[in-house]
Structures are given as C-alpha cells and as structure tokens.
Chain A
Amino acid sequence: MENLIWVVACYQLVGIVIFGLWYYLAWGRKKRAQNAEKPGAKGIFAIILLGILLQAFISGALGILDAGFPNLMKNYKEIMEAAGLVEMSAIAILATGIMAPVGEELLCRGIMFRLAGKVSDKFWVANCIQAFAFGIIHANLVQGIYAFFLGLILGYIYGKYRNIWLCMLLHASVNLSANFIEYLWEALPEQNGMLFVGLICAGSLAFIVLIYLLLGKIKPLEEEGGKAGDIEELQ
C-alpha cells in the first residue's frame, strides 16, 4: 500500500507537466478578460473556508452513508487509503494536497471547461460537462458522485473569477482539510455520534449556501461577447 502513494505522486507529476504544457500553449499566454471579477482578501478567505466546509460536509455525509451501506463504502475506503488521503506523510500531503489540485484544475477547469464551451453557449452546460469529466477521473463510484458536485462548485468559482489559481486554492483547501476533519470526527462523543455528524453536515451545508449567496451570481458570459470556452485567463 505504501508504494501506491508514490504511484499517485508520479501520476500527478506527469499530469502537471502534460496538462500544464497543453494549457499554457493553448490558452495560458492570453490576457485575462477586462471585466473579470477580483475576489479580494475576503473572497480568498471565503474560498478557503468554503473548501473546509465542503470537506466537512462530504466526509460527514460519507460517514452517514457508511453507517447505512458499509459494503458500498468498503471499496471507497480502500481507494482513499491507497491514494494517501487519510495519511499524514509528507509525500501524501504533497501528492494529494498540492499536486492533485494543480494537475486536476489544469485538466478540468483549464482544458476541459474551455473545450466544453464549444458544445453550448450556456455556462451551465459547459460546467456540467467538465464536472462530469471531473467525476470520471476519480475512477470510483462514490468519489465520482461527490466529485461531480464539487466540480460544479469549482466550475462556478472559475466562471465567476476567470482565475484558475482560485480553483486550485479551493481544491487544495478541500483536499488538505481531509486529514484535519478526521480529528474532528474522532473528538465527537461516542453516544449520539451520528446525531453530531448530522448536525455538522447540516451546519456546513448552511454555511456553504451562505458563502454562495455572499459571493453572488456569475456575470452572464454573453455580456463579455463570448462563450464559456472563450474565457480568457489571468496572467
């Protein structure tokens, strides 16, 4: 099992090089759209907090799912352990907390989102396609389903700020907080444990919705005179 984290690290490194080159050569040298929003310090803080809350909600919901369907979760847990998401070693943190967000964001929000923009002028269509592909690359059912919804949120951040670095920040916040959220679950009292997990889940979801409302809606792409795939990038 301990060799598998090196496989994950190798894959992430190859991915960063290939998708990074692809992204840079195709779109990376273009200037950012003039009317793109800037997040500011509060926006950046909200994005980091959003990542932690998303992780709390996902791992809480998976805990509830595990209590109801242990067989479904067995395979998922094995994959998570192999991928190093529950490990605290330096290579695991580097591979899953830093390299994975960089490589996957270059691939999904950097490349596939723009290609998906050719399918339709509508933002939500391109967002659903790249989120679907984001689910596929996780290569297992449980992670694929929640990665789809996470992909929609990452696509929303990308559509709002036109900045791939912010997507990497949110993704890293989700992945890095996975290890620390585990301590939260361990600290919960054994009696009525599921009730607390349910309450944390509901609370996280409420805050996620609140952050979404605070960040506000995405500017219609038509106003910029382009399609979702024509989004220009920050330098």
Chain B
Amino acid sequence: MPRNTFKKIGWFFVSVLPAFLSLTLQFGAAMLIALVISLAVSFSGYQAGMSQAETAQ
C-alpha cells in the first residue's frame, strides 16, 4: 500500500477521534452527576420510599 494511503487512513482516524472524545465527555458527565447525586443521598441519609420521620429514626 502506498505511503500516502497510510497517511490518509491516519488522518481519517485523527479526524473522527474528537467524536469519541465527545462521547467520553457525555458518559463522564453522566457518571459525575450520578456520583454527586449518590453522595448527596448517602450524606443526607435519605431512603427511597420512607417518610422524613422514618428516615430520622
């Protein structure tokens, strides 16, 4: 295969690489928010399905 073709294939991958960076950001942001919510929930002592009085006990 000519060297120029390898170069073009290389540039193709380089040009679509930011798309995968964007996808990583997407999942990273989702994970970060999930982490913040779970930390907030665990520190507040809230339990799903329980009233405030039950949670306080």
Interface residues of chain A, those whose CB is within 8 Å of chain B, are: 3-4, 6-7, 10-11, 14-15, 18-19, 22, 107-108, 111-112, 115-116, 118-120, 129-130, 132-134, 136-137, 139
Check if B30 sits within 8 Å of A11, measured CB to CB.
yes
**For residue A120, which residues in chain B have a CB less than 8 angstroms away from its CB?**
8
B50 within 8 A of A: no
Interface residues of chain B, those whose CB is within 8 Å of chain A, are: 8, 11-12, 14-16, 18-23, 25-26, 28-30, 32-33, 37
Looking at chain B's contact residues, is the secondary structure mostly helix, strand, loop, or mixed?
Answer: helix
Known: A108-B19, A133-B16. 11 other contacts (CB 8 A): A3-B33, A7-B29, A11-B29, A14-B28, A18-B21, A111-B18, A112-B16, A115-B14, A119-B11, A119-B12, A136-B19
Closest CB in chain B relative to A131 CB, distance in Å: 11
Cα of A46 to Cα of B52 in the assembled complex, Å: 56
Check if B19 sits within 8 Å of A14, measured CB to CB.
no
Check if B15 sits within 8 Å of A112, measured CB to CB.
yes
Contact of B32 among A10, A108, A134 (CB under 8 A): A10
Cα of A118 to Cα of B22 in the assembled complex, Å: 21
Contact of A107 among B14, B18, B32, B33 (CB under 8 A): B18
Check if B23 sits within 8 Å of A136, measured CB to CB.
yes
A-B contact pairs, 24 of them (CB 8 A): A7-B30, A10-B33, A14-B25, A14-B29, A15-B25, A19-B22, A22-B18, A111-B18, A112-B15, A112-B16, A115-B11, A115-B14, A115-B15, A116-B12, A119-B8, A119-B12, A120-B8, A129-B15, A130-B15, A133-B19, A136-B19, A136-B23, A137-B26, A139-B23
